């Protein structure tokens, strides 16, 4: 039986808003939320979240694709006396307007140990292996960028459109992503995640790091693939939000024609950053609509991204494309990108833009592992490993290359790097045999676009 006070709490924020009187225009949707997880008493000012609450648009929050395994109630403090846990990853979503949200998660168990890894949206790593002892509680604080596909419509008779041209991987019956919707989604994972409370607050002062790129950068929606844009989130303090707009199969040209650049720029403000990494698909002469020659049109399109970021007071950063895993007879990585990495370097120098040489850094990383072990940094199973797209381990190491590049370029952004980042030399990567991150649910069966 549900107590009357708890029944009111279970109505949730969305239902309470619906009961409020409305005069004239619809009231603005809420941008601050406080959720108390578990089946016990509800802390004042919080909304109850019990393990049976599946997500619905009407409620505006809940678990998906289904409820987690169990709730534990140890009594005492309403906010820390009960929690929800599971032996499998579980997702909790909240319907929110787009923007940056400061997220505070309370973790722990008064009667046992906990170990939690948190990912956001489409598997962006936010918190890595936070452990608590019995009776200990910790809060994890981070910022998540939420977006939808809407673009400010052009004026009457002006060219353009009012939405990003999403592909069938991002939208429709084959859509598998959580980063183009009107929800903030959190994934709780590891051996024993004990989630006591979640708070979300929309913030306008976060520094947003926008990313434009292709499949080697994008938020891959399901295992086994992963990209450095998904791992970059783990290395920044709550003052920074990572907005990864990269997508599989994209080129500099298509990123513009599909209004992905317009969407990104519509959210950009002074003091933000734009990381740009293209080349894998731009170099394909067999794609006549999007092919750009390295020393002419490729450089010209890079300058467009630089100029548009600077127009808005943002700081552009160019990255050369990560190399493919192609070794020569001497155990060295062959440059499969031709003149494109050098072209990025030249544009950065000519435009006085920060440059991160991911082509060189990724080659050093693969060579450190060698031809035998380097496949373990790439997507796939057993002997069937990709030579372009990374897995969790590979993308984590490439993300560390990016973070080190931010430090080496002496960008102001570097002061927001997390304290436990001690620097990174890709010639001495983390031990591939002992490194691990909990695997998310599901499996991606279709190849990345452009593969």
Provide φ and ψ at 377, rounded to 5°.
Answer: -95, 5
CA distance 171 to 192: 33
Residue range 306-348, pLDDT digits in tens: 999 999 999 999 999 999 999 999 999 999 999 999 999 999 9
Q: Which residue carries 């049976």 as its tokens?
A: 52
pTM for the model: 0.92
Helices (H), 312-357: 340-351
Q: Are 427 and 368 in contact (CB under 8 A)?
A: yes
Angle at 209 between CA 204 and CA 210, to 5 degrees: 105
Q: Which range has the worst mean pLDDT, 62-76, 85-99, 154-168, 288-302?
A: 62-76
Topology of 205-416 in CATH? Rossmann fold (3.40.50)
Give the phi and the psi of residue 268 in degrees, each rounded to 5. Answer: -80, 145
Handedness of CA 298, 299, 304, 310 (dihedral sign): positive
Cβ atoms of 46 and 79 within 8 Å: the answer is yes
Task: Provide the residue ranges of all domains of the chain, joining segments of one domain with +.
Answer: 1-22+29-203, 205-416
pLDDT in tens, 121-151: 999 999 999 999 999 999 999 999 999 999 9
The tens digit of pLDDT for each residue in 40-75 reads 999 999 999 999 999 999 999 999 887 786 899 999
Please report how many Cα atoms fall inside a 13 Å half-sphere around the Cα of residue 41, on the Cβ side.
10
Q: Which two tokens stand for residue 96?
A: 């929110």
Considering only CA atoms, which of 35, 42, 47, 196 is closest in space to residue 114?
Answer: 196
Q: Please name which of 184, 177, 230, 228 lies closest in space to residue 203, comparing C-alpha atoms.
A: 184
pLDDT score of 328: 97
378: closest CA among 432, 425, 336?
A: 432
Apex 313 CA angle, 308 and 318, nearest 5: 55
Return the structure tokens found at 318.
């160019």
The DSSP secondary structure of 273-323, one letter per residue, reads EEEEE--TTTT-TT-TTT---TTTHHHHHHHHHHHHHHHTT-EEEEEPPPP
Tokens of 400: 């560390």
3-state secondary structure of 45: coil
The verdict on domain 1-22+29-203 having CATH code 3.10.180.10 is no
Q: Which of 22-31, 106-115, 274-283 has the lowest mean pLDDT?
A: 22-31
């Amino acid at each position: 039986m549900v107590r009357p006070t708890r029944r009111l709490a279970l109505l949730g924020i969305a239902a309470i808003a619906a009961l409020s009187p409305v005069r004239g225009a619809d009231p603005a949707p809420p941008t601050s939320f406080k959720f108390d997880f578990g089946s016990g008493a509800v802390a004042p000012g919080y909304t109850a979240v019990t393990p049976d609450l599946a997500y619905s648009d009407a409620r505006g929050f809940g678990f998906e694709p289904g409820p987690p395994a169990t709730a534990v109630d140890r009594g005492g403090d309403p906010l820390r006396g009960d929690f929800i846990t599971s032996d499998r990853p579980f997702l909790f979503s909240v319907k929110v307007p787009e923007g940056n949200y400061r997220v505070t998660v309370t973790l722990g168990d008064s009667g046992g140990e906990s170990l939690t890894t948190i990912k956001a949206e489409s598997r962006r790593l936010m918190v890595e292996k936070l452990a608590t002892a019995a009776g200990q509680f910790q809060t994890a604080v981070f910022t998540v960028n939420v977006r939808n596909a809407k673009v400010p419509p052009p004026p009457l008779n002006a060219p353009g459109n009012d939405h990003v041209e999403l592909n069938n991987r991002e939208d429709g019956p084959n859509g598998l992503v959580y980063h183009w919707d009107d929800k903030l989604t959190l994934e709780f994972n590891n051996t024993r995640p004990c989630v006591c409370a979640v708070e979300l607050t929309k913030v306008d002062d976060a520094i947003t790091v926008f990313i434009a790129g292709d499949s080697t950068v994008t938020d891959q929606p399901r295992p086994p693939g992963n990209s450095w844009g998904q791992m970059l989130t783990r290395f920044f303090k709550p003052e920074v939000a990572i907005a990864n707009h990269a997508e599989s199969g994209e080129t500099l040209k298509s990123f513009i024609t599909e209004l992905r650049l317009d969407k990104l720029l519509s959210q950009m403000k002074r003091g933000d950053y734009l990381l740009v990494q293209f080349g894998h698909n731009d170099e394909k002469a067999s794609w006549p609509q999007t092919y750009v020659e390295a020393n002419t049109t490729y450089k010209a399109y890079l300058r467009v991204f630089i100029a548009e970021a600077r127009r808005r007071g943002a700081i552009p950063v160019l990255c050369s494309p990560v190399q493919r895993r192609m070794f020569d007879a001497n155990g060295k990585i062959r440059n499969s990108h031709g003149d494109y990495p050098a072209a990025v370097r030249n544009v950065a120098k000519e435009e006085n833009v920060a440059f991160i040489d991911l082509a060189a850094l990724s080659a050093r990383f693969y060579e450190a592992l060698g031809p035998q072990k380097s496949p373990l940094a790439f997507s796939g199973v057993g002997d069937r490993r990709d030579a372009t797209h990374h897995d969790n381990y590979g993308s984590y190491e490439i993300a560390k290359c990016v973070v080190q590049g931010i430090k080496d370029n002496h960008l102001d952004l570097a002061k927001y790097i997390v304290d436990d980042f001690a620097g990174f030399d890709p010639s001495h990567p983390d031990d591939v045999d002992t490194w691990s991150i909990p695997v998310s649910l599901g499996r991606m069966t279709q190849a990345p676009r452009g593969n």
